[in-house]
A and B are shown apart, each in its own frame.
Chain A
Amino acid sequence: MKVLTDPALCVGADLTAWMARGGGEGLARALAEPASIIPMLEAAGLRGLGGAGFPTHRKWAAVAAQPGPERWIICNGNEDEPGTFKDRFLLAETPHQVIEGALIAAVATGAAQVVLYVNPREAAGVLACRAAVAAWQAHPLAAAVSAAIGQALCLRVVESSGHYIGGEETGAVSSVMGGFPFPRLKPPFPFEQGVNDRPTLINNVETLAHVAHILRHGADWYRALGLGDAAGTKLYSLSGDVLRPGLHELPMGTPLRELVFVHGGGMLAGKAFKAVFTGGPSNTLLTGADLDVALDFESVRARGSRLGTGAMIVVGEGTSILRKTAEYVAFFAANSCGQCPPCKIGTHQVSRILERLDTGAGRAGDLEALENLSHMLPGSGRCGLVDGAATVLASSLETFRAEYEAALPRD
């Protein structure tokens, strides 16, 4: 069941076409019964789809409960994780889903400042968003939103700096305020102190895209789309050693096996399935023993990993886990913002050791040093980047230790 990726809704910036295909109905419902918005999201079971999986209704309620009048909404479309490519699709092909969801959020939380936060590297997406936002300015629904909030709605596009770290919540706040996207210590959280120290709601664009449909069709409809206890659909970014990589919209809770072997066309060149780097790749690896896991937040967490952004990077036999881990840690090291030496220097040090191991220059003591760093580094920075690097390192070390040991010097 295609909801977000319904071809009929991929109208780009064309607002007239969007309205003709059912767009605007969700917003109209929200404007008619503003008090029902947050309860509806709760009933629908919508969770944050940018990585954390936090219940969306709780975030909205927290912002709504903060004193006004100035409140902000940042629609986070920075998307710079390796292996994740869903947000850029939405922003380029169907930005109105996101904008309508954001406007519903504005009504629910009383936020007049709505920012579409986009990555300048996605030129098509930036163009589409700018045109889409321009189209809304004159629309009666926008005026209705202003009236509902009691302040003039200010809807605009803000380009991020293009850095990976700009996707981090507090980094996005720094960026929207005009500076480098430096993450900040939490607490305080953005819902209480964000842009200009005012209450700020930050949601991933995929999350907001679902909101319009939930308001239009109701919570029960949304719940029914998911499998088991999970709700709604999910955009899974599938990549790696599979025949059909790409964006797959499937019911939330689709088993990993089905994603890889049915929708993904199975393993490339007949290779055996080895592992999956999930969600970012800053989480615990899933292995062959996890092929039956339902890809929803709770089920993946029960397996000791995280769904994250729903990115699934598949690795087959013949691909080195050590090398992939080295690649991802190097990514984190390069993208560390620099504020916290344990993150920047720590990830670089891990990267160095992994590179040594990968190039046959490993030394006695390297594995102990890596494990030590994987224990020492989590929580040692202002944001979660260093935790992600430490998690993927620890997981690959534990689950594929033999590969690491094979890289050590031998007589």
Chain B
Amino acid sequence: MSDAGMTDGGMSGGIGFAAALAAWDAAAPAPARACGLEVADLLRGFHPDHRPGGMVSLVAGPNEGAPCPAQLAVLLQSDSLLEDVDLAGATILDADVLVLGGGGAGCVAALAAARAGARVLMATKLRMGDGNTVMAEGGIQAAIGAEDSLQRHFEDTLRAGHFAADKALVAALVGDGPDAIRWLIREGMSFDLADERQRMGGALLRKKPGGATAARLLSYRDFTGLELMRALREAVLLQPGITVLDGHPALELLTDDRGRCGGAALQDLGQRRLVLARAGATIMATGGAGRLHLAGFPTSNHYGATADGLVLAYRAGARLREMDSFQFHPTGIAWPPHLEGTLVSEAARSAGARLVNGQGERFVEELAPRDVVASAMLRELAEGRGIGRDGKLGLFLDTPSLEREQPGILAQRLQTLSHLAHRAGFDPAREPFLVRPTLHYQNGGMAIDTDGRSALPGLLAAGEVTGGLHGRNRMMGNALLELVVFGRRAGASAAADARQERPRNLGLNHLAGWRRGLVAAGLGLEAKGPLLFPPYGNVTPQDLRRRAA
């Protein structure tokens, strides 16, 4: 959103648009200026995770003492919107498996659980199919090239994440990769081929994503997420055994007297009443946190990305990891203001487009890992070499040179990009994009094992809400892979878990202990969570609970 970007600190006024355009035009193709900083210093100096005052230590809950962005910490350490008395008289729905979230991971998990014989209830805040997945553009990684290997994919992922990831999880991620692609094709998802005529026996089109040592990014045009979600949505609609409740965000997990998770209390937004969904196993697939606009950044995320699931899981006792690590996608739109934050796909850089500052120079290896590229860009902006236009600062993404070098690429492979430029009111073949890092992905999240189980019995998780896969920086293409691999694992595990003994005496049993913890830590109980909708949604969760017109 246009107002959110003004507070990210450390940006000096940039070079005027006309002057910068002239410099770019004169210098193209842009000469490279050496970085002059070690990667570690670059990150420490300019990555938003390291902003002074941006991080606080959690003082309550399973991750007490761990660093976390200040805004997120408020939510994680918030009190529930509900009291026990609110559950009285609520409609009760029973299922084997409850899936919270209807994006990619949620849909995959629901399908896997239903096909394993479970009765599945899927509750979504917006609609089934909504979430960050549908907005993903670049692609999905899988080590299928003859020159590539699972081992290389494994090592590339660990390295890009600065070796902070859980090795067993990463091994599972990459090991299931090729099968995930086959699974998606079986669900009806299309992929681009190296030669479109070779549908049988040909090769998938593969690109090298930032930080990879082999070309293993598979895609469908530059709207891979849309293609994936279209197929999955139909699959969910047609799968017997899945009941979908749109417009039913979860307000609190239900736990029994042994601390086991047994479902969730959902708010029926249409009827303004509570619904209790009881299940043998609950899968958290609520996605990311971009709409919190951490560090004041604009975001590329879906409207619903408000960290709801993270808040509920933490409150119920689930441990999180790498909560202080967020990915800032290097190229979000910086201008025009009404499109600020919208993703400009890395596909452009994968295809060869270069980043240029206001002096007409390149300043970073475009396909370095995203945190490096984003930090380098923020450095240019902080040190006065950015480009200013209508009060917005950014850097050039040189699409005209790309089109000149590969005529027709914009129309053939980068349709979404071209469409975006058209809506922004310029021709990407003649004028470069103005881009700036945008809050894009939650690297950390709920800790899970290779079966998708959290440490809290009865609670599993998949997708962006989980942590341990990407370390401190996600590689492009691993997010779509993650939701398929762990969606399937969590779905199968949940179906199995649901056949065990059911939780008894379900309620808000964990709340008393949680509240005691908040009070003991010196926090009040005034802050409530989850947030459900960003502030510019003009409605609070309390508003939604009231029945008044």
A and B touch in their complex, CB below 8 angstroms: yes
**Chain B interface category by residue count:** under 10
Residues of A near B546 (CB, < 8 A) are 411
Residues of A near B271 (CB, < 8 A) are 360-361, 409
Residues of A near B549 (CB, < 8 A) are 363-364, 408-410
Closest chain B CB from A353 CB (angstroms): 12
Contact with B along A337-365 (1 / 0, CB 8 A): 00000000000000000001000110110
* Cross-chain contact B270 with A410 (CB below 8 angstroms): no
What's the Cα separation between A364 and B271 when bound, in Å? 11
Q: Which residue of B lies closest to A365 (CB)?
A: B549
Contact with B along A382-411 (1 / 0, CB 8 A): 000000000000000000000000001111
Contact with A along B428-448 (1 / 0, CB 8 A): 000000000000000000000
What's the Cα separation between A360 and B549 when bound, in Å? 13
For residue B186, CB closer than 8 A to chain A, the reply is no
Residues of B near A408 (CB, < 8 A) are 549
* Cross-chain contact A411 with B270 (CB below 8 angstroms): no
Residues of B near A411 (CB, < 8 A) are 546-548
Q: Which residue of A lies closest to B548 (CB)?
A: A411
Residues of A near B270 (CB, < 8 A) are 356, 361, 363
Closest chain A CB from B533 CB (angstroms): 15
For residue B422, CB closer than 8 A to chain A, the reply is no
Closest chain B CB from A363 CB (angstroms): 7
What's the Cα separation between A360 and B270 when bound, in Å? 10
Report which residue of B270, B271, B548, B549 has the largest number of chain A beta carbons within 10 angstroms of its beta carbon: B549
Residues of A near B272 (CB, < 8 A) are 409
What's the Cα separation between A360 and B271 when bound, in Å? 8
Interface size on A, residues (CB 8 A): 9
What's the Cα separation between A363 and B268 when bound, in Å? 12
What's the Cα separation between A333 and B547 when bound, in Å? 30
Closest chain B CB from A362 CB (angstroms): 8
Residues of B near A356 (CB, < 8 A) are 270
Closest chain B CB from A45 CB (angstroms): 50
Contact with B along A30-63 (1 / 0, CB 8 A): 0000000000000000000000000000000000
What's the Cα separation between A185 and B199 when bound, in Å? 47
What's the Cα separation between A356 and B269 when bound, in Å? 13
Q: Which residue of B lies closest to A364 (CB)?
A: B549
Q: Which residue of A lies closest to B268 (CB)?
A: A361
Closest chain B CB from A368 CB (angstroms): 11
Closest chain A CB from B89 CB (angstroms): 15
Contact with A along B508-549 (1 / 0, CB 8 A): 000000000000000000000000000000000000001111
What's the Cα separation between A408 and B272 when bound, in Å? 12
What's the Cα separation between A356 and B271 when bound, in Å? 10
Residues of B near A409 (CB, < 8 A) are 271-272, 547-549
What's the Cα separation between A364 and B272 when bound, in Å? 11
Contact with B along A218-254 (1 / 0, CB 8 A): 0000000000000000000000000000000000000
Closest chain A CB from B451 CB (angstroms): 40
Q: Which residue of A lies closest to B546 (CB)?
A: A411
> Restricting to A85-125, which residues have a CB under 8 Å from any CB of B?
none
> Restricting to B251-301, which residues have a CB under 8 Å from any CB of A?
270-272
Residues of B near A410 (CB, < 8 A) are 547-549
Q: Which residue of B lies closest to A359 (CB)?
A: B271
Q: Which residue of B lies closest to A405 (CB)?
A: B549
What's the Cα separation between A284 and B512 when bound, in Å? 59
> Restricting to B342-378, which residues have a CB under 8 Å from any CB of A?
none
Residues of B near A360 (CB, < 8 A) are 271
Report which residue of A356, A409, A410 has the largest number of chain B beta carbons within 10 angstroms of its beta carbon: A409
Contact with B along A361-374 (1 / 0, CB 8 A): 10110000000000
Q: Which residue of B lies closest to A408 (CB)?
A: B549
Closest chain B CB from A366 CB (angstroms): 9
Residues of B near A363 (CB, < 8 A) are 270, 549
What's the Cα separation between A51 and B258 when bound, in Å? 72
What's the Cα separation between A361 and B247 when bound, in Å? 13
Residues of B near A364 (CB, < 8 A) are 548-549
Closest chain B CB from A244 CB (angstroms): 42
What's the Cα separation between A408 and B547 when bound, in Å? 9
What's the Cα separation between A108 and B546 when bound, in Å? 69
Q: Which residue of A lies closest to B269 (CB)?
A: A363
What's the Cα separation between A363 and B270 when bound, in Å? 7
Q: List 18 A-B contacts (CB under 8 A).
A: A356-B270, A361-B270, A361-B271, A363-B270, A363-B549, A364-B548, A364-B549, A408-B549, A409-B271, A409-B272, A409-B547, A409-B548, A409-B549, A410-B547, A410-B548, A410-B549, A411-B547, A411-B548
Q: A361-B271, A409-B547, A410-B548 are in contact. List 6 more A-B contacts (CB 8 A).
A: A361-B270, A363-B270, A364-B549, A409-B548, A409-B549, A411-B546
Chain A residues close to B by CB (< 8 Å): 356, 360-361, 363-364, 408-411
The 8 nearest A-B residue pairs measured at CB: A364-B549, A408-B549, A411-B548, A409-B547, A411-B547, A409-B549, A361-B271, A409-B272
Chain B residues close to A by CB (< 8 Å): 270-272, 546-549
